[in-house]
Structure 1
Amino acid sequence: MPSRRVVTGLSQEPRRRFAEELRRLRAQSGDSLRKLGDVLGWDWSLFGKMENGETLGGPEVVQALDQHYETPGFLLTLWELAVGDPTQFREQYRRYMALEAEAVSLWHFAVSVLPGLLQTDGYAREVLAAGGARGKELAQQVDARTGRRQLLSGEEAPHFRTILSEAVLRSPLRDGQEWREQLEHLLEMADRPNLAIQLLPQSSGLHGLVATDVMFLRMHDGHTVAYIETALHGELVEESASVERMQRAYDAVRDLALTPVESRKFIGRMLEEVPCTPST
């Protein structure tokens, strides 16, 4: 039997092949690492480490690279082969991320944790660590999550509204300074013209979303999809009747929430209660 002919000079080992493709695509585009970091909103050093094979990065980073290089799904497939476990990035979440990047407006309800789009590095690190992430995996997930904040920046950023259950702000970080920075970040984001942050007081009582984190995405063609999430499970909902039912529950919650102005004042009062870290 004749020996197998090597079709390309690229590696057949998944991790090395992934790094090779990253280097090839960047060279082809003419981007420097710093420019890539500026465009996509991640620290440029992360892309250098990915190209050198030091890290695989997280799925959100790879999704952003696929969009930037106009290679839909290609890098993500290589990434899944490289990590050796395609279930780490569920098909439904992959589709959600693609839809999120294309949405013209987003609205959200948080039961107990701030939405990833508004998390600081310190907040994301503590939340992900509580979920079991450690070491390099934790660093990768933090980079991936906080990098998504770029979605809300720029002239063409979509409008984003989040309603936060009061429990979200009653669950501070262990590090007082990190918690202060997170609250300050919320106030800063609340001043952006494309953002609205509202607080749902505990006194509002039970409601239709009492145990459900949900994100709604309105697409260019006018239809809306929803993504519901718990600590262990996420589900993309596209069936119109189900989405409509959740939207009615969301509208009822919004009627109970403080206005954006009242909510900023509430967050400001929370910030005043956080002890200042003495300078050394």
Structure 2
Amino acid sequence: MQRPHSPTIRLRRLGFELRRLRETHRLTLEEASKSSGVPRTTLSKIETAESRRTRTRDLDALADLYEVSDETRAAFHQLYRESKEKGWWYQYKELFGTSGLPAFEVEASLIRTYEAQVIPGLLQTADYARAVFTGTNAFAEEEIKRHVEARMERQSILTRLYPPEYAAIIDEAALRRCAGGKEAMREQLLHLAHMATRPNISIHALPFSAGMHAANLGGFQIMEFSEAADPTVGYAETPTYCVFVEGQDEIRTYDAMWREAHNASLTVAQTIDFIYELSASLEDVT
């Protein structure tokens, strides 16, 4: 059984390989366009994964120009065919768009996240997620239902046959902030403790006692992939839009922040004990 694939990742991989071949042949976009007959704008969009409609003859023209093997030529066409398929998140495109966060998570081999205000989405229970979306006062009931359904669907990557490694740092504030009532929060904490025992998941609490730390500007996520042709992606949310970055300097900044926050966090074992303590404290709340 193969791991699920993402049309977005396939399109990026095709563009990466074609750009690499062009640079290996020491051709500019203009030179490659003139020699292959593929319009410069089209070639640029293919290389940057912005083209959703690539002609077969253009792929063949580029394969001829770069003198690739029949196997590589076939791989180009396969990548393009797979980039036209639709992932499960297309049914929630009003929430994610067509190339949103799930399009990257589904093929990631390692996901690292830091959350300061809420439990990470991939670790939320349905009741907790409902409380999160209800608390924003920004969604109607039907929209809340859609958001919760989509969030539960996203979580399937952690328990599938070939799951990614998942490492979450959760600020103590998020662990203590009650969402959905005492019972819902207790269920959420126990769910976290359970998920932390899975072999592909590590959860680290960042306690108040750690003081200020490198990741104090807000939550973010880093996604790495097993294929060298798939650059690491950083992700962060703002109140009005989502940010995806893959520049080396930006990724280094995200990586440094995550590692410093990790160094200030509790171990997995300490975190599980801490979570159980918080859960028990809710039993005493009247």
Structure 2 counterpart of 1:125: 130
Q: Which has the larger radius of gyration?
A: 2
**Contact 1:102–1:219 (CA<8 Å) still a contact in 2?**
yes
How far, CA to CA, are the matches of 2:236 and 2:92 in structure 1?
25
Residue 214 (structure 1) aligned to one of 220, 244, 257: 220
1:178 is the counterpart of 2:191: no
Structure 2 counterpart of 1:164: 170
- TM normalised by structure 2 equals 0.65
Change (3 A) 1:231 1:167: farther
Structure 2 counterpart of 1:4: none
The 5 A counterparts of 1:19-168 are 72-73=85-86, 89-90=96-97, 94-131=99-136, 132-168=138-174
How far, CA to CA, are the matches of 1:76 and 1:152 in structure 2?
16
1:224 is the counterpart of 2:240: no
Change (3 A) 1:89 1:147: closer
How far, CA to CA, are the matches of 1:70 and 1:238 in structure 2?
20
Residue 265 (structure 2) aligned to one of 257, 261, 269: 257
Change (3 A) 1:170 1:231: farther
Shift of 1:249: 1.4
Structure 1, unaligned stretches of length 5 or more?
1-38, 40-68
Structure 2, unaligned stretches of length 5 or more?
5-81
How far, CA to CA, are the matches of 1:215 and 1:163 in structure 2?
10
1:267 is the counterpart of 2:275: yes
Identity of aligned residues (%): 28
How far, CA to CA, are the matches of 1:74 and 1:184 in structure 2?
31
Change (3 A) 1:175 1:234: same
Task: Specify the code of the residue in structure 2 equivalent to 1:195.
Answer: I
Shift of 1:154: 2.7
How far, CA to CA, are the matches of 1:170 and 1:252 in structure 2?
22
Deviations along 1:133-171, one digit per CA (max 9) or x if unpaired, are: 222111111111112111100331111000001111120
How far, CA to CA, are the matches of 2:153 and 2:88 in structure 1?
18
**Pairwise CA RMSD of aligned residues?**
2.7
Deviations along 1:211-231, one digit per CA (max 9) or x if unpaired, are: 221111111224311101234
The more displaced of 173-182 and 262-271 is 173-182
